[in-house]
Amino acid sequence: MDTDDPLWGALDRVAETPRLLVACAFDGALAPDEGDPAGARAEQVSSEALNVLVALADTTVAVVSDRPLDEVAELMFLSGAKGGLRAVAPEGLGALRDEVGATALVAVGVAVTGTSADVVVGVGEELGPGSPYEVEDVDEVAELLEELAGLRRSI
């Protein structure tokens, strides 16, 4: 982790929020967008980090996709944590945030209108303009999720 990087500083700040919602786009953020939706699979490291986050108190994890929850869970390799994973269509993210009472949101690869308590991260060229923070690809998303899981676990 580069402590001078504004993204890592923002993750450190948001990790301490009382109720955290972590929302990641499936295609392009968790799974490489290679033009074959049927063959898409989440990166193993991202799945493992999301498993950790799902297990933490006061932390809700959602995969943002128009795919059915069962399909998303299968493509995520979320073995024991399937019960805690939420799947939501992009337009349902605000309602989920209200439902779980999230005091902050980490949105990765998802276009949202955030607040100062939120960390909105664009992936590659998907959300580049207008996203306060950016990562290059799914490998950097995995690194981000691992860091967030470690920070959240230590509070």
Determine, yes or no, domain membership for 130: yes
Q: For the chain, first and last CA: distance in Å?
A: 18
CATH classification of the domain holding 39: 3.40.50.1000
**Looking up tokens 């989920």, which residue turns up?**
96
Determine, yes or no, domain membership for 1: no
Which domain range does residue 41 map to? 6-154
Q: How many domains are contained in the chain?
A: 1
Determine, yes or no, domain membership for 114: yes
Determine, yes or no, domain membership for 86: yes
- pLDDT, tens digit (0-9, with 9 covering 90-100), for 51-99: 899 999 999 999 999 888 778 777 776 544 455 788 899 999 999 999 9
Determine, yes or no, domain membership for 57: yes
In terms of residues, how long is the chain? 155
CB 88 within 8 A of CB 60: no
- pLDDT, tens digit (0-9, with 9 covering 90-100), for 3-50: 678 999 999 999 999 999 999 999 889 998 777 777 788 888 998 899
Q: Does pTM top 0.85 for this prediction?
A: yes
Single-letter code of the amino acid located at 106: V
Determine, yes or no, domain membership for 142: yes
